[in-house]
Amino acid sequence: MAEGSDTEKIMRALYLIRGVEEGIAQRYPAGKMRCPVHFSIGQEGVSAALAPLMRRDDLAVSSHRAHAHYMGKGGSVRAMLAEIYGRAGGCSGARGGSMHLIDESVGFKGSTAIVGNTIPIGVGLGLALQQKGSDSLAIVFLGDGAIEEGVFYESVNFAAVQRLPVLFICENNLYSVYSPLGPRQPAGRSIYKMVEAMGIKSVAGDGNDVAATYKLMHAVIAEMRSGQGPVFAEFSTYRWLEHCGPADDDHLGYRAQGECAEWKKRAPVARYEKYLRENEGWSAARLEALRNEVLADIARDFAWVEAQPLPPRPDAYREVYAEDAGKSVGQNTMESAA
Amino acid sequence: MKRPVEITFAQAINEGLHQAMAASDEVICYGLGIDDPKRIFGTTVDLKERFGKRVFDMPLSENAMTGIGVGAAIGGLRPVMVHQRLDFFLLAMDQLVNSAAKWHYMFGGKRSVPLTIRLIIGRGWGQGPTHSQNLQAWFAHIPGLKVVMPSSPADAKGLLRASIDDNNPVVFLEHRWLHQQMGEVPESPDFRVPLSECRVMEKGVDVTIVASSYLTIEALHAVRRLREEGVQAELIDLRTIKPLDWPTLLTSVKKTGRLLALDSGAAFGSVAGTIVARVASDLFSHLRAAPLYLTMPDVPEPTAYELTREFYFGAPEIAAAAWKMVKGEERSFPELEREGHHDVPGQWFAGPF
The list of chain B residues with pLDDT below 70 reads 1, 350-353
- Residue A222: inside a domain, yes or no? yes
Q: Does B71 touch chain A (CB under 8 A)?
A: yes
d(CA A284, CA A197): 45
Task: Please confirm, yes or no, whether B141 is among the known catalytic residues.
Answer: no
Residues of chain A with Cβ-Cβ distance to B71 below 8 Å are 61, 120-128, 138
- If you count residue pairs, one on A and one on B, with CB atoms under 8 Å apart, how many are there? 182
For residue B183, the model assigns a pLDDT of 96
172-231 of B, contacting A, C-beta below 8 A:
none
B164 vs chain A: nearest CA distance in angstroms? 14
Per-residue pLDDT band for A329 (boundaries 50, 70, 90) equals very low
Ordered domains of chain B (ranges, CATH): 6-184 (3.40.50.970), 199-336 (3.40.50.920)
For the segment A148-181, what is each residue's pLDDT rounded down to a tens digit? 999 999 999 999 999 999 999 999 999 999 999 9
- Residue A311: inside a domain, yes or no? no
d(CA A24, CA A45): 19
Catalytic residue among B131, B175, B179, B221: B131
Could you tell me the sign of the dihedral formed by the alpha carbons of B105, B106, B110, B114, in that order?
A: negative
For the segment A287-312, what is each residue's pLDDT rounded down to a tens digit? 999 999 999 999 999 999 999 999 99
Residues of chain A with Cβ-Cβ distance to B104 below 8 Å are 319-322
For residue B339, the model assigns a pLDDT of 85
- Residue A153: inside a domain, yes or no? yes
Of B28, B65, B108, the CB nearest to A95: B108
B161 vs chain A: nearest CA distance in angstroms? 17
Mark yes or no for CB contact A158/B58 under 8 Å.
yes
151-170 of B, contacting A, C-beta below 8 A:
166-168
Mark yes or no for CB contact A337/B144 under 8 Å.
no
Q: Are A112 and A118 in contact (CB under 8 A)?
A: yes
Task: Please confirm, yes or no, whether B26 is among the known catalytic residues.
Answer: no
Q: Which of B32, B55, B58, B74 to mutate to test the interface with A (most CBs of A within 10 A)?
A: B74
Residues of chain B with Cβ-Cβ distance to A125 below 8 Å are 71-72, 74-75
- Residue A155: inside a domain, yes or no? yes
For the segment A219-269, what is each residue's pLDDT rounded down to a tens digit? 999 999 999 999 999 999 999 999 999 999 999 999 999 999 999 999 999
Q: How many domains does chain A have?
A: 1
CATH of the domain at A65: 3.40.50.970
Per-residue pLDDT band for A331 (boundaries 50, 70, 90) equals very low
Is the pLDDT assigned to residue A325 strictly greater than 70? no
- Domain extent at residue A227: 4-301
- Residue A226: inside a domain, yes or no? yes
Helices and strands (H, E) in chain B, number of each type: 13, 14
- Residue A175: inside a domain, yes or no? yes
For residue A334, the model assigns a pLDDT of 37
Is the pLDDT assigned to residue A327 strictly greater than 60? no
- Residue A52: inside a domain, yes or no? yes
- The share of chain A scoring above pLDDT 90, in percent, equals 93
Residues of chain A with Cβ-Cβ distance to B143 below 8 Å are 320
Residues of chain B with Cβ-Cβ distance to A151 below 8 Å are 61, 63-64, 67, 94-95
Residues of chain A with Cβ-Cβ distance to B66 below 8 Å are 120
- Residue A281: inside a domain, yes or no? yes
Mark yes or no for CB contact A59/B143 under 8 Å.
no
Is the pLDDT assigned to residue A209 strictly greater than 90? yes
Compute CA distances A280 → A47, A283, B100, B170, B343, whole Å.
20, 9, 47, 55, 78
For residue B346, the model assigns a pLDDT of 77
A93 vs chain B: nearest CA distance in angstroms? 4
| ipTM associated with this complex | 0.94
Q: Does B59 touch chain A (CB under 8 A)?
A: yes
